[in-house]
Amino acid sequence: MSGGGVAASASVSVPASVPASVSAFAPASAILTPMPAPPSDVAVIGGGPIGLELAVAFRQAGVSCVQFEAGAIGSTIAWWAPGTQFFSSPERLELAGVPLVTPDQAKATREQYLGYLRSVVRQFDLDVRTYERVVGIERTETGFRLRSVRSSHGVGGPEDNADATPRHAGPETRTETLTDTRRIVLAIGNLHRPRSLDGVPGVTLPHVSHYFAEPHRYFKRRVLIVGGKNSAVEAALRCYRVGADVTLSYRGEAFDPRRVKYWLRPEIEWLIEQGRIGWHPCTRPVRITPEAVTLAPVEAAEPITTVAADDVLLLTGYEQDPRLFEDLGVELMGDARAPRHERETMETPVPGVYVAGTAVGGSQRRTRVFIENSHVHVERIVRAITGRDPAFSCDAVYASLEES
């Protein structure tokens, strides 16, 4: 991308309180590239939908932008099971004013949306450095120096969490690239690692996963699913329909209408009522073996039942890896550990460091930040940096709505 200047009103000062070096992830063996190119105006970390929308807005505003994505673009969506449909309506997922047209006027599937993301990148000729993971950020006189390494997949998802190497280091840390920038936007998402069921024997067995894979693989398998929100319910329905013998274990007494989509709830409730899907409310797994899962009441230790299972899906949600925020000195707030930021500008208390997209929400127990109510972050950041609105309109009405 060609580098135009930002508006004169936009100035960046960097606080003395920020540590001079926030490069906690440096592998000792890394070979440093001698000199980075001249600084860009902005570096966007993350090539998910919101990071890409920001990159379009910067391009159109003449702001020079370098963008890093640890995997392929949209890598969070790429790890969903094939054929997964968005819960959000297509028009709410549109980026930078580019229509998202589905062939059947239904909600977009994972595949359709990934195709859409590719077309957005091509249409605006975005220069995303894919398979390039930011592993450290240092303060410089004019802004920040990013250290990135080659990476074989995005942050989060089954491949990332199967890595034995420390998160952010990635498996391929042999060469390292330095990039200077005046500002940073962290659009890193928040589904980086599964919520762990600490202390449950057997959680690391090979037939236990936090990720619902290609449904076909569950044909004629006994599948025990732990969870009771959208992902668990959807996986239960899809496994049932491919011919699996499905049982659900859920902490709650019943499905919460605020956490299970209104079109999924009657289906799962009916199948449970009919005895076609097994149901153990108010339970939690206390032991997993290669053949079975032992369940106990949520509030008691004494097991109440053992369910035979060939596959175990622990669909109890995901958490954000906050290390880039922590290392930059951005305060993390509340139980969700959400990065502190100014609502009107999305700038964190560390001048020049912004946050966008679902990264804003931290590790949300109940998801409140989605793609549709994140478009407005793009508008706020572009306005804060350039003093102007983006060339496309970010439909602010979605910002105040529940996902649908």
Ligand X SMILES: Cc1cc2nc3c(=O)[nH]c(=O)nc-3n(C[C@H](O)[C@H](O)[C@H](O)COP(=O)(O)OP(=O)(O)OC[C@H]3O[C@@H](n4cnc5c(N)ncnc54)[C@H](O)[C@@H]3O)c2cc1C
Summarize as ranges the residues that interact with ligand X (CB under 6 A): 45-51, 68-71, 75-77, 80, 84, 86-88, 133-134, 154-155, 187-189, 191, 231, 324, 357-359, 370-372, 374, 403
Report the residue number, 1 or 7, with the smaller CB distance to ligand X. Answer: 1
From CA 381, how far away is CA 353, in angstroms rounded? 10
Q: How far is the CB of 271 from ligand X (least distance, A)?
A: 20
Which residue, 230, 220, 261, is CA-closest to 80? 230
Give least dist CB 300 to ligand X, A.
31
Beta carbon nearer to ligand X, 149 or 286: 149
Judged by CB, which is closer to ligand X: 134, or 376?
A: 134
C-alpha 392/C-alpha 263 separation (Å) is: 33
The residue type at 118: R
The rounded distance, in Å, linking the Cα atoms of 69 and 153 is: 9
Residue closer to ligand X, measured from CB, 12 or 87: 87
Dist CA 243 CA 254 (whole Å): 24
Of 191 and 336, which has the nearer Cβ to ligand X?
A: 191
CB of 78 to ligand X, least distance (A): 8
Using CA atoms, how far apart are residues 303 and 295, in angstroms rounded to an integer? 6
Contact 136, 327 (CB under 8 A): yes
Residue 48 in contact with residue 357, Cβ under 8 Å? Answer: yes
CA-based nearest residue to 64, from 376, 385, 403: 385
Coil vs helix vs strand at 310? coil
Task: Please report how close the Cβ of residue 110 comes to ligand X at its closest, in angstroms.
Answer: 8
**Minimum CB–partner distance for residue 290 and ligand X (Å):** 27
CB of 128 to ligand X, least distance (A): 10
Contact predicate 64/41, CB 8 Å: yes
Is the Cβ–Cβ distance between 277 and 271 less than 8 Å? Answer: yes
Report the nearest approach of ligand X to the CB of residue 174 (Å). 17
- The minimum distance between CB 156 and ligand X, in angstroms, equals 6
8 Å CB contact between 264 and 237: yes
Nearer to ligand X, 143 or 156 (CB): 156
Please, what is the minimum distance in Å from the beta carbon of residue 107 to ligand X?
7
Instruction: Give me the least distance between CB of 125 and ligand X, in Å please.
Output: 20
Tell me phi and psi for residue 77, to 5 degrees. -75, -30
Show Cβ contacts of residue 105 under 8 Å, excluding neighbours closer than 6 positions.
none
C-alpha–C-alpha distance, residues 141 and 372, integer Å: 36
| Nearest to ligand X of 194, 278 (CB atom) | 194
Of 58 and 370, the one with the shorter C-beta distance to ligand X is 370
Which C-beta is closer to ligand X: that of 71 or that of 352? Answer: 71
Smallest separation, CB 21 to ligand X (Å): 17
Quick one: 159 or 389, whose CB is closer to ligand X? 159
Q: DSSP 3-state assignment of 248?
A: strand
Alpha helices in 29-89 (DSSP H): 49-61, 75-78
Residues 75/152, Cβ–Cβ less than 8 Å: no
Chain center to CA of 198: 22
Backbone torsions φ then ψ of 239, nearest 5 degrees? -65, -45
Residue 5: CB atoms within 10 A of its CB come to 11
Number of Cβ within 10 Å of residue 251's Cβ equals: 15
Six-digit token pair at 75?
């890598």
Complex with ligand X: residue 80 or 124, whichever CB lies closer: 80
